[in-house]
Structures are given as structure tokens and as C-alpha cells.
Amino acid sequence: MHEDIPGTVKNTRSKIDSSPAASIRGDMLRTTRWEELGNKDPRVPPAFVIEFSPDAHTSSACERYGIALPSQLHHAVAKRQAEFIMGRLAAHQAIERLGIAASTPGIGASREPLWQAGVTGSISHTDDIAAAIAVPAPTVTGVGIDIEKVPNAETRDAIRALALTPDEQRLMEARRGHLTTNMLLITGFSAKESFFKGVFAVVGRYFDFDAVRVSGLDADAGRLTLTLRQTLCPSLVEGRSFEVGFKTLARDTVATSFVW
């Protein structure tokens, strides 16, 4: 499972913030804002969210925002380059919000973001939206966010087959509330992505979607419960449960947020 972690099938908006971050503009960037992503934990600050044009000229954006493309992305398609630039720009703003000098996160051996000392965080992007969150490292063990849009039929089938068991899908359908079937599906998938990102630094390895199961859903409260089906490490043992917050960003877009 997995910004910058590979290997998976992968409406209320707050006002645009009036801080210096809101003055960031360019050919690629459309809007910026600080937004809560559904997690009610007081340790979780708002995410910096960017809406951007994925087909804009990336080299000029790199120069404008001072973000260097890593060598492994030099020959990537423009969309992938744009996602990286906007994700790192969002991360830079999220770190600055902590009141410290920000360094743009690098890429680790498993393509995970590498955060500067004293900071942990998470980055996500999908199509034309990028978001990042940063938290002082001593306050949490890990944090993960994920943004997903309703996919095409082929990807929906893959999610059903790989990410959510029939039992999980039945449980979610029974408690769906206002969520459509498609939004329900990507919410469960996204919650597992956020969980993976939040625990990856501790677990230190990839694990499959079936390592956790959806064991609860409160659609009205924007809360989903995941329970470990296997022990991943000494602090993440079989049977332990965690809550993941979620929020609808648009009719076809959901954000999830996990902290522990």
C-alpha cells in the first residue's frame, strides 16, 4: 500500500487563507487554502491544500517555487512532475506553519517523503489537488493523509478485489449514511492508504490491504475504524483498532486523515 509510496491501485471548503501562503500564484497553481481533512484529533493541524493545473509547464514551476525535481522524475510525464512539485510546495507551507525554517522533503528509498528533523507529516495528490500536513515530531508517532477521486470502472473493480473484502463492503454499505456507493468505496480505500502512510516509518516495510480491516463506520461523523488483522510490529499488534477521519471535498473527492 501507498504520496510517493507506490504499489496500489491508486463540501465544504474553507476560505483561502489570508496568510503569505495564499499569495502563492503561478501558471500551474489555481487556489490554495488551509483545510481540516476530517480528523478531530487536536494534534492534527489543517492541511495545506493546492488546486493546480496538471498540464502546466513544470520547469518554470520548479524555478518559480524553488523545488528541484529528483533525478528519477526527470523523464516522468508532466502530470507526475506537477504532482510532485505541488505536493512538495504544500509540504513546505505546512512546515512553515509550525514556525520553523522549512526544507522541502526529499524522497526515501521506498519513495516515502523524508521530513526534516523535528517534523513528521504526510503528502497526497490526485489529478489536480495536492495536500500536505506537518506536525512536530514529538507530539505524534505518525500521521497520514490521502485524497482520492472516484475512479473509472476498472479501478473500482480492482479496489473491490484488492483493498476491501466482501465483508468490509457489506459492513460499509449497511452504515453508508449519505455516501454513494462509489464514495463509500474510495473512502475505505483512502482510509487504508492514510493508515499505511502514518505507520510506514515505524513498520519499515510494505504490507497489503488485508493487514487491516474496516470494522466500523460513522458516515455522519466522518469517522471510520480500522482494526489490525495481523501484527505489524511491537506497537501495532493484531486486534488493535484506530480511527481514521474522512471528509468530502467535492462530489467525487474524499480526503482521509490518520494520526497515532
Cα–Cα distance, 91 to 78 (Å, whole number)? 20
193 is in an annotated binding site: yes
Sheet with 119-126: strands ordered across: 29-35, 47-52, 129-136, 119-126
How is residue 68 annotated by DSSP? Answer: P
Residues 6+ apart with CB under 8 A from 217: 171, 172, 175, 176, 223, 224, 225
Q: What is the pLDDT of residue 253?
A: 96
156 is in an annotated binding site: no
Q: What is the pLDDT of residue 1?
A: 58
How many other C-beta atoms are found inside a 10 Å radius of the C-beta of residue 148? 27
Q: What is the pLDDT of residue 235?
A: 98
- Counting as low any pLDDT under 50, the low residues of the chain are 2-23
pTM of the predicted model, to two decimals?
0.88
Q: What is the pLDDT of residue 21?
A: 45
Residues 6+ apart with CB under 8 A from 197: 2, 3, 5, 112, 122, 124, 142, 143, 144, 145, 146, 258
How many other C-beta atoms are found inside a 10 Å radius of the C-beta of residue 135? 21
Q: What is the pLDDT of residues 142-185, one digit of tens each?
A: 999 999 999 999 999 999 999 999 999 999 999 999 999 999 99
For the chain, which residues make up each domain, given as ranges? 20-146, 147-259
57 is in an annotated binding site: no
How high is the mean pLDDT of the chain? 89
173 is in an annotated binding site: no
Cα–Cα distance, 195 to 177 (Å, whole number)? 23
The CATH topology of domain 20-146 is Ribosomal Protein L22; Chain A (3.90.470)
146 is in an annotated binding site: yes
Q: What is the pLDDT of residues 104-123, one digit of tens each?
A: 999 998 889 999 999 999 99
147 is in an annotated binding site: yes
252 is in an annotated binding site: no
Q: What is the pLDDT of residue 71?
A: 87
Question: Are the C-beta atoms of 130 and 41 separated by less than 8 Å?
Answer: no
Q: What is the pLDDT of residue 29?
A: 83
The rounded Cα 2 to chain-centroid distance in angstroms is 9
Q: What is the pLDDT of residue 14?
A: 32
